[in-house]
Amino acid sequence: MTNRADVLIVGGGPVGLFGAALASLHGMRVKIVEALPRLGGQLTAVYPEKKIYDVAGFRGVRAQDFAETLIAQALDYEPEIVTNEMVERVEQEDEDTFSVVTNRGRHLTRTVLLTVGIGSFSPRPIPAAGADRFLDRGVYYFMPFLDRFRGRRVAVVGGGDSAVDWAIALSQVAGRVYLIHRRKEFRAQSHSVQQLHRLANVEVMVPVEVRRIEGDEWIRQLSIEWTEYERHETLSIDALVSGLGFVPKLGPLKSWPLEWDGVRIRVQPNTMETSIPRIFAAGDVVSYPGKVFLIVAGFGEIGIAVARIRQVLNPKLSSHLPHSSNMDLTKPPVLG
């Protein structure tokens, strides 16, 4: 089967991306299926401007930059990338082949590696008239590149970490930032809120609710209400960014006949194999005694999973991966 992958990775976040690179390095034909329009997972979709301090080799790295490094590393090996597809179910074709069915088709593979993190996540909608009309015409639920907002008037709605972090990040490029929150109190980290209040080009508007989003072909203004005084006014803006958070959901994956521990998949920690042979999992979606929910732990689980997958695909191979420094990378990798 020329179109069959050796391993199909469900989820293109940091753990899945490293899985693609490592599996490809050791000779496997890899396909990644990602539900979002782009790779990177939460790093790019939820907190692209936040710094990460607990991954090896970095004293502190912006999430977007870390994601781009992981994406580049994976793409060096030319895996097949499929985005905007939600995996729905898996069917056993024969003892050596699964058919992974998505909302747009099906993909053949010899093994499956689930790296879906907390699942796909949908943004909480902005509860204001006109929000749907101006989606991607000034209303954003996923943060695009900051340069898009250079010199602009940008409103951010929300009171949690995402909203405050995005407002701080936007203050570096935007002409004016308005942080709109319906309560006086913030759920975000107190040191972040203090930093926010010190920024000269940021106006914190509380308690305020967005009632209507208005414009022509593009967003132009917000109709807002100061709820404490029932006072209405119009705010001229160029963009509105939602910081209301996301609702994680495993979706159809939760109906798979795997052994579950609540919303997480039970695996054997020495192989990362699930209760279904040849289906593996790694990262925040897995459960086993002593599990640590950090990116670095997920990277370690990938090493364990890839070593076992490699041996499943070719039983003649050792259960241990060879050191890359001892491999002849001038030749195409071969799976045994």
Judge if 37 and 21 occupy the same domain.
yes
State whether 216 and 233 are in the same domain. yes
> 174 lies in a domain?
yes
**336 belongs to a structural domain:** no
Q: Do 112 and 256 have their domain in common?
A: yes
Residue 333 lies in a domain: no
Assess whether 98 and 139 both reside in one domain.
Answer: no
Binding-site annotation, residues for FAD: 34, 42, 47, 87, 121, 284, 325
Domain boundary among 209, 244, 279: 244
d(CA 214, CA 316): 65
Per-residue confidence (pLDDT) for residue 50, from 0 to 100? 83
Mean pLDDT of 171-186: 97
Structural domain that includes position 280: 5-121+247-326
Residue 120 has pLDDT above 80, yes or no: no
Same domain, 129 and 224: yes
Question: Which residues participate in the annotated binding site?
Answer: 34, 42, 47, 87, 121, 284, 325
Count: domains in the chain: 2
What phi, psi does 110 have (nearest 5°)? Answer: -85, -30
For residues 18 and 164, membership in a common domain is answered with no
**Please, which pLDDT band fits residue 214 given cuts at 50, 70 and 90?**
very high
In terms of domains, do 201 and 141 share one? yes
Residue 185 has pLDDT above 90, yes or no: yes
pLDDT at position 192 is: 93
155: left (phi over 0), alpha (psi -120 to 50) or beta: beta
Domain boundary among 221, 244, 267: 244
What pLDDT is attached to residue 2? Answer: 66
CATH code, domain carrying 12: 3.50.50.60
Gap between the Cα atoms of 13 and 282, Å rounded: 11
Mean pLDDT of the chain: 94
| Residue of higher predicted confidence among 44 and 333 | 44
The pLDDT-based confidence of 56 (bands split at 50, 70, 90) is very high
